[in-house]
Amino acid sequence: MIDGAVLNFSPASLMLLNAILAVVMFSIAIDLRPRDFQVLLRGPKPVIAGLVAQFLVLPALTFLMVLIVQPQASIALGLILVAACPGGNISNFITYRAGGNAALSVSLTAFATVGAIVLTPVNIAFWGSLYAPSRAILEQTQIDPVQVAITLGLMLILPLVLGVALNSWRPLVAARLRQPLQWLSMGIFALFIVLALAANWAQFLAYAGGIAALVIAHNALALGGGYATATLFGLTPYDRRSVTIETGIQNSGLGLVLIFGFFGGLGGMAVIAAAWGIWHAVSGIALAAVMNRTEAAR
């Protein structure tokens, strides 16, 4: 039974994943300068729309999906945890390929990353406790909010600050590092996911078939929720593409860190996060190809 399955993931592997995610965040941050945040603060509607879609709309839609489908406890909590994470590391690249506002996408990733220190654990605890089977897992799990905040801070906030600082003080160095580092970090992350799946291939195959449809539906719900939120906020098509993709591309790597760090590698949660890590890249790139056929009005 998947609720009792535990995937093989060593402490050394977890430390490596933390380091990879820190490098990914740094590669995103060297695209940013303090003035980027100032511009968005003067016209904050697109950022507010993105954060509402990310941390309010998607978790609520996920909970409705859980109520309708009634999945096993660890699968439900895996869906909720992924929905509670900030935007994923490839959302900026996919937004650029889709012809959306890449600067908005990068800034949304940054703002959501900062907000995730508080909002990710709050959303997991709140929505997870409303579904009785997943509430039982939360009650049996010792989660230290301070430790979660420290983990998120070291993995996400510190690289963000260092990247912005480098781009401000040494822009030529940042410019030389930017593209190679982004491609390298995404390649290493993809390889890490492949190796992690290979180490647990038998269990992944045993459960992935039934979970695949849920992940595909959940990802479609995320993309649709982002698009609907951006439309309700009256954003331009250019900004709407960014919010749509940012909501549909989740930081599943961060999800895996939380699952193995605080939930003991619980099978259903880990398979959900790993499947998300594969599928959202496929759906995002396909959506970007469709969007890129027409230029978005600004």
CATH code, 103: 1.20.1530.20
**Residue 250 falls within a domain, yes or no?**
yes
Q: Is the pLDDT of residue 70 over 60?
A: yes
Domain count, the chain: 1
Question: What is the pLDDT, as a whole number, of residue 262?
Answer: 81
Residue 281 token pair = 């890249």
Which residues constitute the domain of residue 68?
8-291
Does a structural domain hold residue 3?
no
Place of tokens 């509670």: 84
Report the alpha-carbon distance of residue 263 to residue 13 in Å, rounded. 15
Mean pLDDT over 76-80 rounds to 95
pLDDT digits (tens, 9 = 90+) for 227-257: 999 999 999 999 999 999 999 999 887 888 8
- pTM across the whole model: 0.84
> In the 8-state DSSP scheme, what is residue 233?
T
Is residue 7's pLDDT more than 70?
no
> Helices 171-199 and 11-29, interaxial angle, to 10°?
150
**Nearest-angstrom CA–CA distance, 104 and 99:** 12
* pLDDT surpasses 80 at 191: no
The reply to whether 272 falls in a domain is yes
Question: Is residue 2 one of the residues assigned to a domain?
Answer: no
Angle formed at CA 14 by CA 187 and CA 253, multiple of 5 degrees: 50
**Within a domain: 137:** yes
pLDDT attached to residue 81:
95
DSSP state of 90: T
Q: Is the separation of the CB atoms in 251 and 89 below 8 Å?
A: yes
Count of CA atoms in the C-beta half-sphere (13 A) of 166: 19
Check if the beta carbon of residue 181 is closer than 8 Å to that of residue 26: yes
Whether residue 79 is predicted with pLDDT greater than 80 in this model: the reply is: yes
Share of the chain above pLDDT 90, in %: 31
Residues 123-179: pLDDT tens digits?
999 999 999 999 988 888 766 667 777 777 777 778 888 888 888 888 888 888 877
